[in-house]
Amino acid sequence: MGSVEREMKNMREYFRSGVTKEASWRESQLKGLRRFLMEKESDIFKALMQDLGKHGVEAFRDEIGTLVKTLNLAIKCLKDWMSSKNANLPALALLSSAEIVHEPLGLVLIISSWNFPFALSLEPLIGAIAAGNTAVLKPSELSASCSSLLASGIATYLDDKAIRVIEGGPEESEQLLNQKWDKIFFTGSARVGRIVMSAAATHLTPVVLELGGKCPAVVDSLSSSWDLEVIVKRIIVGKYGTCAGQACIAIDYVIVEKSYCSKLVELMKVWIKKMFGDYPKRSNTIARIVNKQQLVRLKKLLTGPKVKESVVYGGSVDEENLFIEPTILVDPPLDAAIMIDEVFGPILPIITVDKIEDSIEFISSRPKPLALYVFTKNQTLQKRMISETSSGSVTFNDAILQYAADSLPFGGVGASGFGMYHGKFSFDTFSHQKAIVRRSFLTDFWYRYPPWTPNKFQLL
Ligand code: NAD
């Protein structure tokens, strides 16, 4: 038996001992996680700066702050989430009762991505712990400092008989995927999502796939100059100000009416300068590209027939410093890689249409995105966007905000994945909702038993 199998065997035995099912154990682990985030805050900032050049404010907003908020909610609501919920029964079961019990699944595997190394690892882990599971976490090898801090922090602050971090890349990940888990929660690319799903199929293991895709932002032209300024600021922060666009819910491209495009672009140029300065490369407010490979991939997206010519702002790439300037393109060819692949970087294509309503057909004829952003006050357009397009979420007049709401399910649909988490949804994702029926002996109806006779049709 290899070391992974041995560790898993011990963790399964620990789960069977019932320790992790106790509310007190779950609460102590959630509090331990919160202590880790608070006591190691400066180490977390340092690791995120090292791996991604992420500014502390951004790191707090997207990782520590949201995680502490989720932990506070989980600690506060734990007993309520765990409590069984009464359910109704048909009249036939008179004087009987039913309830739904939330049962932990057992031993779960969480594989995460590098762009929000703490949030994407710990947000699902909070759900796994709250639901009473044992868990193995495999962070991404590409954010190595964060992965190592997660491994040491979790070993120190949490019960290491129940929660383990296994570091490594595809090889270690594949080794883990060969094992039998009670659930696999995967955040990453569709390519690896397919590998995860086929490995899970061998053991009929349920999976959650949190994938990516191209998240559009539609900008309606019916905006006042004040509104347009707010829109521009929200677009910039939803693209360049969120891990330099290396986020699954970052705005991938914008759709705008032809006649309105130059107004939007000109104001974007002004605000990019206001937010990142005249020389963004010198700014510590915009994150760096995670590694050379990703940088080369992004650089390539700017090449190809008619793509370079469509760049209207930025475009410079500094390989040595893993930096790409905030870049805007207008109407690159729709068959170019930049309009087919997920951008996942600080490059923003803007696509123009004759009428803003044309954006509906544009979006619905492409793979379903994880997030759709629509900047409009037009109620009819809002209604049409909700009913005529499909996406993980729709946010009107802002971007990214939906991620921070514990009250909303976070997850994709179609090509952007399936399953959901955040807040109570995470608890549900890592629980089995077990149906319990308690039947009374006091009532018993003769017509529910054979032999079947025609008069029983009416009685049942
Ligand atoms: P990735 O799929 O390359 O890696 C994700 C994880 O899988 C990592 O832990 C990695 O070590 C592991 N892995 C890599 N190759 C593997 C293999 N062959 N077998 C098994 N495991 C393997 O993705 P990434 O580069 O980390 O992240 C980028 C993608 O993730 C983007 O598409 C992005 O949109 C998506 N993403 C989605 C969300 C979300 O919440 N929906 C969040 C962040 C990123």
Per DSSP, the residues of 147-215 read: HHHHHHHHHHHS-TTTEEE---SHHHHHHHHTS--SEEEEES-HHHHHHHHHHHHHTT--EEEE-----
Q: What is the pLDDT of residues 115-143, one digit of tens each?
A: 999 999 999 999 999 999 999 999 999 99
Q: What is the pLDDT of residues 35-59, one digit of tens each?
A: 999 999 999 999 999 999 999 999 9
Higher pLDDT, 458 or 381: 381
Question: Does residue 1 register a pLDDT over 80?
Answer: no
Ligand 1 centroid – CA 218 distance (Å): 27
Nearest to 185 by CA among 203, 207, 164: 207
Per DSSP, the residues of 232-284 read: HHHHHHTTTTTGGG-STTS--EEEEEHHHHHHHHHHHHHHHHHHH-S-GGG-S
Q: Answer yes or no: 210 catalytic.
A: yes
Q: What is the pLDDT of residues 77-95, one digit of tens each?
A: 999 999 999 999 998 888 9
Residue nearest to atom 18 of ligand 1 (CA): 170
Return the percentage of the chain with pLDDT > 90, whole number. 94
Q: Which atom of ligand 1 is nearest to the CA of 342?
A: 32
pLDDT, position 8: 97
pLDDT, position 222: 81
pLDDT, position 334: 98
Q: Which atom of ligand 1 is nearest to the CA of 248?
A: 34
The token duo for 264 is 């939007």
223 confidence band (pLDDT: 50, 70, 90): confident
Nearest to 145 by CA among 47, 25, 57, 9: 47
CA dihedral 49, 50, 53, 57 (to 10 degrees): -10
H or E element that contains 408: none
Cβ neighbours, 10 Å, residue 452: 10
pLDDT, position 249: 98
pLDDT, position 17: 98
Tell me the C-alpha distance between 394 and 333, whole Å.
26
User: Ligand 1 within 6 A of 170 CB?
Assistant: yes
Site to probe by mutation for ligand 1, drawn from 192, 195, 214, 429 as the one with most ligand atoms within 8 Å of Cβ, is 192
pLDDT, position 457: 87
The token duo for 285 is 């407010």
Stretch among 88-92, 322-326, 398-402 having the lowest mean pLDDT: 88-92
Tell me the C-alpha distance between 205 and 187, whole Å.
16
pLDDT, position 306: 94
Q: What is the mean pLDDT of residues 243-270?
A: 97
Radius of gyration in angstroms for the set of CA atoms belonging to the chain, rounded to a whole number: 25
Residue linked to tokens 């570091």 = 167
CA 237 to chain centre: 18
pLDDT, position 443: 86
Question: Please, are residues 318 and 281 in contact by the beta-carbon 8 Å criterion?
Answer: yes
Buried b (16+ CB within 10 A) or exposed e, 423-441: bbbbbbbbbbeeeeeeeee
458 confidence band (pLDDT: 50, 70, 90): confident
The token duo for 124 is 């699902």
Of the CA atoms within 13 Å of residue 71, those in its CB half-sphere come to 22
User: Ligand 1 within 6 A of 173 CB?
Assistant: yes
460 confidence band (pLDDT: 50, 70, 90): confident
Residue nearest to atom 13 of ligand 1 (CA): 170
Q: What is the mean pLDDT of residues 153-176?
A: 98
